[in-house]
Amino acid sequence: MARILIVDDERAIRRALREILEFEGFEVDEAEHGKEGVEKATNKLYDVIFCDIKMPQMDGMEVLDALNKANVDSPIIMISGHGNIDTAVQAIKNGAFDFIEKPLDLNRILVTLRNAKDRTVLVEETKQLKTTVKRFKGSSIIGETEGIQRIKEMIEKVAPSDARVLVTGGNGTGKELVARSLHDNSNRSKMPFIEVNCAAIPSELIESELFGHEKGAFTSAVKDKKGKFELASGGTLFLDEIGDMSASAQAKVLRALQENVIQRVGGERDIKVDCRVVAATNKDLRKEIEEGRFREDLYHRLAVILIHVPSLNDRKEDIPLLAEHFLTIVCADHGVPRKSFTDDALLALQQTDWTGNIRELRNIVERLVILSGAIINGQDVRMFANPGK
């Protein structure tokens, strides 16, 4: 349920706007002057803020400026009965999402609200996309071996459903690519793909990261924060290295999967979420269950569909394709003319022991691009590929 803040000194306007918004299913808070509005908007998360321009103590333009300085991301819609074109233009220049004149028109309000919510989704998607592009530039599931073909066929069948998927495989095998491909080929592809690396987040912070927190929940919780489950609502949540998740977080994730409901840390309000969960691990979760480190009921919730990604040593026939793929990307990244591999260079790469899997192969291709000439031969590979092995 979207949360909206109305900042207006006229009680009648607040009441009328509240009735409209609550009828449409929104959760509404009010502030009767600018200072109260700034305080509420900096301490709580709002999907949209309506703010009057003419108010005592602190007018709407000052509120807009204060919220911009506080890095409040909520779209701010300015409203005024004394507006003119100059005022509207200035408000938009100062960062307002839109400007609506009084008396308020119901259709205009609802259209503007819809656009503001769409903008919020696009901003979050853009943030995630920029992060993803940096890591997955040119990424796709490359390979023609039987194991990779099975994965592609499985993705084609499973992606259109909302079935949860557990992806297994060693570090650097490409589990993230499988999760991304499931999302991109699903009905949720236009919504966010949110990734959480459960191994990289300290156990005391993982619950806040997943479920968000309320202001004051702990020492550094200076304002409300949405968790990854909320941010992924409508899209896909990728829980990477889930085998490293703490026991308390496992219990809360289980509830979220069972009921599609979460509670922020320090909060009591149930929040509905709707995200498809794809999890990945490099651990043997069956063994983790036997040793009491992973919940069996959570495993069965996650492992509706199992996809295992083979190691690079088990698919060495794909190395020429992968090496050429990475060569194109790396040369472009470094701004150099595309280099080429000789046949004996590709053979030498196939004869290498790939303990770091595809991630290691990409790193070595980059090293060869930097250290070798225009044509990369077998001697270059033997000299530069694995100098420490």
Q: Do 321 and 363 touch, CB atoms closer than 8 A?
A: no
Q: Is residue 129 part of a domain?
A: no
Cβ neighbourhood burial of 209 (10 Å; 0-12, 13-18, 19+): buried
Question: Same structural domain for residues 18 and 81?
Answer: yes
Question: Same structural domain for residues 170 and 240?
Answer: yes
Question: Same structural domain for residues 321 and 340?
Answer: yes
Q: Which of 310, 330, 353 is the last residue of a domain?
A: 310
Tokens of 335: 């701004």
Q: Which of 249, 278, 310 is the last residue of a domain?
A: 310
Domain that holds residue 32: 3-120
What is the full per-residue pLDDT of the chain (389 aa) written as tens digits?
678 999 999 999 999 999 989 988 889 999 999 999 999 998 888 989 999 998 888 999 999 999 988 888 889 999 987 767 788 888 888 889 999 888 888 888 889 888 887 777 776 666 665 555 544 443 478 999 999 999 999 999 999 999 999 999 999 999 999 999 999 999 999 999 999 999 988 888 899 999 999 888 887 777 888 999 999 999 999 999 999 999 989 999 999 999 999 999 888 889 999 999 999 999 999 999 999 999 999 999 999 999 999 999 999 999 999 999 999 999 999 999 999 999 999 999 999 999 999 999 999 999 999 999 999 999 999 998 876 55
Question: Same structural domain for residues 105 and 240?
Answer: no
Question: Same structural domain for residues 53 and 191?
Answer: no
Q: Is residue 92 part of a domain?
A: yes
State the CATH number of the domain containing residue 48.
3.40.50.2300
Q: Do 235 and 194 touch, CB atoms closer than 8 A?
A: yes
Beta-bridge mates of residue 31: 7
Question: Same structural domain for residues 171 and 291?
Answer: yes
Question: Same structural domain for residues 301 and 153?
Answer: yes
pTM, two decimal places: 0.69
Question: Same structural domain for residues 188 and 334?
Answer: no
Q: Is residue 125 part of a domain?
A: no
Question: Same structural domain for residues 274 and 147?
Answer: yes
Beta-bridge mates of residue 193: 236
CA torsion 144-150-156-159 (nearest 10°) is -120
Cβ neighbourhood burial of 213 (10 Å; 0-12, 13-18, 19+): buried
Question: Same structural domain for residues 331 and 304?
Answer: no
Give the residue carrying structure tokens 């991301």: 73
- pLDDT, position 81: 79
- pLDDT, position 295: 96
Of 79, 70, 75, give the one whose Cα is nearest residue 2: 75
Question: Same structural domain for residues 42 and 168?
Answer: no
> Considering just the CA atoms, what is the radius of gyration of the chain in Å?
26
Q: Which of 310, 343, 365 is the last residue of a domain?
A: 310
